[in-house]
Structure 1
């Protein structure tokens, strides 16, 4: 970090000396049966969410985030926030509201509660270096606040200050690496002003850096140049307009997303999307059914918004929230009803999985519309994507996506290497009473093949999942552990049993605080788009945690 950047950070954190903090409300939601929800609202106070366990989602000013165990989320007054969470174990989920008060500078040193334009230097998601420490502080704060003793309740406020200190320390460490704060600000600036003419020189000034220094740091941080990032974002906005439909002309769409040269816009669109904009617009009007859940991730990678998808799968709801697809038809789990729903929808194409749809059902679906059932067992996820693309005449789009994925995987691999060094990683999934080490045709494909991380000894890379016992966990001697626990009550009970066992506490990864968590859905899906999302999760989990 340059001296200038250090001065900026010191100024931001120096303002803390003139602030006071008061915890007003704290909820601790525990156990499988509980569900927590925050209705859409403009925040009137500061809020912290600590995802010690469970699953859920959060939107801040329209930006969607999947809640992740081990992370802390800070929301400021004035932000438009909505959230929900569920599937908690005894660690629970913590929801805190607190006031930030600032000295007004008067001789009597009165304090003013800040309800807008908060100077609090942290907001959004923060991956903390020690989730266990944050969870322990939250538990202690809860106990103190419930105590009838006034002195103990006062101690709860002191512990809250300690928790804020820990959060701010983590944020300062993260922001100090490669000018992350300035680069993230510029990235957000581009996303807000993408319709304007933006140059490298102007963006460098926004970042407060020399042009050459900004170009080098941005590419190092994000894996592509700033202008390339801007182009990708603009084309995504253009694609969204095309999917909505209407009478928008290509020229009008180009102008809207910041391009005044129609020929350049068409060339850039084809370069990024793999298809010309006119063909994309034509294809966007097609109604394509994702008959099975895994087909959703294939179609999204091909830049297709499915017109219908299974209602009983978390991906469908996730997809509707993330992509604002209110017109997406949720399909029944009853085969007869599902087929009739598809018939009434009059789709152009149906995509399914051969092993999940009986032959007689496949035949009846083909009477409704041209249908393709992906040959699953004998092919990997890349071939699955290419086969679907071939059927839909989207081969160019598939190859463009795969090329971008490989570039991103190489970039992420380089970013997480400092954290891992030579550490081995065990990917453990708890399903019911069973423990599985994930290998081929699973998340192991992303971590072991694409990111080149090292599996611990004993992991059979040829198996999709390798069943093991609680006692065998120590035999793997893994340096790091990535844990996935299914949502059902039996799986959660198995996790609680494991967590409270001496065998768990004796594991090297547990002793060294090298345990990270993922929710079971959508991450366990074996599809193209899920794997790309997993690359983003790997960055959140391990970048800057060396």
Structure 2
């Protein structure tokens, strides 16, 4: 699995330190980028992945991309924050391959890392802590790397520091434990799916691509990923649709076709089944100010 990690791409979006009070109170936030908080004073609470996290000093917290989350602060807390895009090969995330923990005890070097990131990236502080303007600003950038205009040495050091901080949340055991010949086959099928979301993808086509029988492929996929291939494909299509809904003005019909749904009504039904919202409601809630 580490061979895929070598293709990890990181793109910093925001970094800074904030003093927050009861106005830091938002629900049903979903971002197409990862967020990392290091609490230095006070407390707050956060919900995601069906878990409640009490944010406390000297701990760091990770929020994966495309995960609904809510957070609130009753009185006051201070935090370092970092948000970044991460991608392994086209369309894959670290979370696809590795088990993640979402809370870790900070160590003495972590505060130094955050301060160094702020020194290297002095113009990436969030001016408005309200989530929707942050997300809209990021997604309407013509180029995600538009904010990276500094020297190559700064860029490389920034990549290194983010890698170190992210590594603290990656468990040693792979999210997908692969044995034998299926290792390479199931690795490459994830990449194939990510690259071909706009085209018809069937279990038969995937099994042939891997050189396995349909039954063997399906059993292996369920064992390794914990879900049927068709459900995985749908989840990746809906994640891609979420990004398009936030970053483009394309019609729902066009977006449905772009992510492999030829029937707009079926696209809406699957979208609501996975996200709890219709595509139109999702766009209105998360894009419009």
Normalized against structure 1, the TM-score is what? 0.24
Q: TM-score, normalization: structure 2?
A: 0.43
Greater Rg over alpha carbons, structure: 1
Q: Structure with the greater relative contact order (CA < 8 A, sep ≥ 6): 1 or 2?
A: 2
Instruction: Name the structure where strand makes up a greater proportion of residues.
Output: 2
